[in-house]
């Protein structure tokens, strides 16, 4: 009853005078997830500069609050909107923990027999495929927010005319682009929530087939004197199938990121993801391959993962394993990059990381997790679990999104070579 009254109140607040009756429905919804964990940061590379640390934290895992609505336009046509924002559920002295309004999937669209067309900020078709296989995670500490897609990014296309530091603060006077616009280069994420984007989803055809395509506009295209001439944009496509009552599912994706690593060149990637529910166990598999274009050569990254979920009473035992292989290849020639983003120098290995130690191409990582989720109701879940990431000696880039501050108590990115683990209790409530 309280939710119904709140929904009606929000509908009245959002509707303009004289048209309130035209709004078919408005709903307030949310997903609150908090995990209490015992964290360990173990730096096998350099324990002097970055000593090992053990500490506790309460982490908010993708908690969100949103408002969405739909209006029947007649003739099988409907208009819809959604505005969703992160619910940090914590306050920190580190500004990296904060986010703005409408920071998650937010859009306006029209849907009918032809499919669904919408504008706004939304997960890419590439990212949407993770729903087909990622059934093996308890809490927020799984492969999708750490390894698969090489972590996640939300925002516009990158901008070569932004000089960025590793912390995302402008490095040059007059450079006022944010850290997302400065995040290109070898290894940048293909899992993206695309801002400034146009999306089209086909209807689900007979047989359970659906296609999706999205385009992120080139709002930062420039020909300004004294700057780098670029035309940054990206596209994302996918085709997926689900059959046998949803037990069998598979999808493929293909993306292109123009001017993300090198002006005039397009980084590309493809993914195959899916799963099969045998009843006694649900299994998911994922494979991704990205090609990053440098001026003289290609740098290639591969990730793969497996997940399983075994039902036990009202809950399930869940586990997954993911591997990011070393970025392969060499590059040479003058390279225009973002400071602290790609780590490229004029020549060297594709995955070399500039540190006080000798650069190395040993830049992959592995991650595994196991736990038990107990579903008390459709809304409330409590789980326990253990997750760990093993970063290679030349890698410090693999972490879970929204994780605890690392050794220095400020940065969310661990030093190169750091292994991370967490033993936790997780609580979820949906409304």
Does 411 have pLDDT greater than 50? yes
290 vs 153, residue with greater confidence: 290
Cα distance between residue 12 and residue 393, in whole Å? 57
The owner of tokens 């890419």 is: 124
Assigned CATH class of 32-430: mainly beta
pLDDT, one tens digit per residue, over 209-268 is 999 999 999 998 888 666 678 899 999 999 999 998 889 999 999 999 999 888 889 999
- Which neighbouring-strand residues pair with 193? 123, 154
Please, which pLDDT band fits residue 298 given cuts at 50, 70 and 90?
A: confident
Does 40 have pLDDT greater than 60? yes
pLDDT of the residue at 341: 34
The pTM of this model reads: 0.85
Number of H helices, E strands in the chain: 2, 20
Which of 342-347's residues contact partners 24+ apart within 8 Å by CB, and which partners? 342/184, 342/185, 342/186, 342/187, 342/188, 342/261, 343/185, 343/186, 344/185, 344/186, 344/294
User: What proportion of the chain, given as a percentage, has pLDDT over 90?
Assistant: 54
pLDDT of the residue at 362: 77
The ranges assigned to domains in the chain are: 32-430
């Amino acid at each position: 009853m309280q939710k119904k009254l709140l929904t009606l109140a929000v509908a009245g607040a959002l509707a303009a005078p004289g048209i309130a009756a035209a709004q078919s429905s408005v709903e307030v919804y949310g997903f609150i997830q908090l995990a209490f964990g015992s964290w360990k940061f173990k730096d096998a590379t350099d324990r002097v500069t970055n000593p090992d640390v053990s500490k506790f934290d309460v982490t908010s895992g993708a908690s969100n609050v949103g408002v969405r609505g739909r209006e029947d336009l007649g003739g099988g046509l409907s208009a819809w909107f959604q505005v969703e924002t992160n619910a940090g559920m914590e306050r920190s002295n580190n500004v990296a923990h904060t986010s703005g309004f409408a920071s998650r999937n937010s859009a306006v669209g029209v849907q009918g027999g032809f499919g669904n067309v919408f504008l706004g900020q939304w997960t890419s078709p590439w990212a949407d495929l993770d729903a087909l296989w990622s059934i093996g995670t308890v809490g927020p500490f799984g492969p999708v927010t750490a390894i698969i897609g090489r972590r996640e990014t939300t925002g516009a296309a990158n901008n070569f005319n932004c000089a960025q530091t590793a912390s995302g603060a402008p490095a040059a006077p007059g450079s006022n682009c944010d850290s997302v616009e400065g995040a290109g280069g070898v290894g940048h994420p293909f899992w993206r929530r695309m801002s400034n984007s146009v999306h089209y989803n086909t209807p689900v055809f007979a047989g359970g087939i659906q296609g999706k395509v999205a385009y992120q506009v080139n709002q930062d295209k420039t020909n300004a004197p004294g700057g780098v001439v670029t035309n940054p944009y990206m596209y994302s496509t996918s085709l997926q199938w689900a059959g046998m009552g949803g037990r069998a599912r598979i999808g493929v994706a293909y993306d292109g990121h123009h001017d993300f690593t090198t002006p005039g060149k397009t980084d590309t990637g493809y993914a195959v993801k899916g799963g099969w529910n045998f009843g006694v166990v649900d299994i998911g598999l994922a494979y991704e391959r990205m090609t990053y274009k440098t001026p003289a050569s290609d740098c290639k990254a591969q990730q793969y993962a497996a997940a399983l979920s075994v039902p036990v009473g009202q809950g399930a035992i869940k586990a997954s394993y993911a591997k990011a292989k070393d970025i392969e290849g060499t590059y040479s020639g003058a390279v225009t990059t973002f400071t602290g983003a790609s780590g490229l120098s004029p020549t060297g290995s594709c995955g070399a990381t500039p540190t006080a130690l000798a650069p190395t191409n040993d830049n992959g990582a592995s991650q595994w997790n196991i736990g038990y989720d107990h579903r008390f109701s459709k809304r409330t879940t409590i789980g326990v679990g253990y997750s760990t990431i093993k970063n290679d000696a030349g890698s410090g880039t693999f972490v879970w999104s929204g994780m605890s501050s690392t050794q220095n108590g400020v940065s969310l990115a661990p030093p190169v070579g750091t292994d991370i683990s967490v033993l936790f209790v997780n609580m979820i409530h949906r409304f």
